[in-house]
Structure 1
Amino acid sequence: MNILGWIVFGLVAGFLARAIVPGKDNIGLLMTIVVGVAGSAVGGFVFGLLTVGLRGFQPAGFIGSVIGAVIVLVIYNKLTGRKRRVRS
């Protein structure tokens, strides 16, 4: 997959992760792409562990990438404290 493909794929996976994780995310377009691409790596790693053991780096498919991006986004929000709970 070429660089432009990774960027578009990361953008879509990151955008879907932002839509799935509740609350407002104060991250820009570049960070959304980074979350999506990192999510693909995390999704591939987790899928590899669950199926046949550690296989090294292997990007995940679309669903695995979105799941990985959700994991990366939740960890990012916890580490940076960017997401605040809305008080009722």
Structure 2
Amino acid sequence: MNFIIWIVIGGIIGWLASLVMKTDAQQGMFLNVVVGIVGALLGGWLLSPLFGTGTINSDDFSPMSLLVSFLGAVILLAIVNLVFRGRAR
């Protein structure tokens, strides 16, 4: 059951991050899920020590862990934009 929640929350986080980074028109539902989950991994690696919380990947669904996962997804999309387009939006 946690896996399904993880997929759904990852999709929502990826979708919100794509709205913030203005890449929503280029992404489908599957890519939003991937961005949400990989962004949560990145956020867990970079931001979790700063905020002192887990991410959705560690089965922590607190508001702070959702924020860290969201920020990780935004950072991931910014890195992808820098690599493929030469600028972050």
TM-score when normalising by structure 2: 0.69
Q: Structure 2 counterpart of 1:2, which letter?
A: N
Consecutive unaligned residues in structure 1, runs of 5 or more = 53-57
Corresponding position of 2:62: none
Corresponding position of 2:11: 11
Give identity over the alignment, percent.
Answer: 33
Structure whose residues are more often helix by fraction: 2
Corresponding position of 2:22: 22
The count of corresponding residues between Structure 1 and Structure 2 is 78
Consecutive unaligned residues in structure 2, runs of 5 or more = 57-64
Residue of 38, 52, 55 corresponding to 1:59: 55
Q: Give the deviation of 1:75 after TM superposition.
A: 1.4
Bigger radius of gyration, 1 or 2?
1
Q: Give the deviation of 1:37 after TM superposition.
A: 0.6
TM-score when normalising by structure 1: 0.70
Over aligned residue pairs, what C-alpha RMSD do you find?
A: 2.5
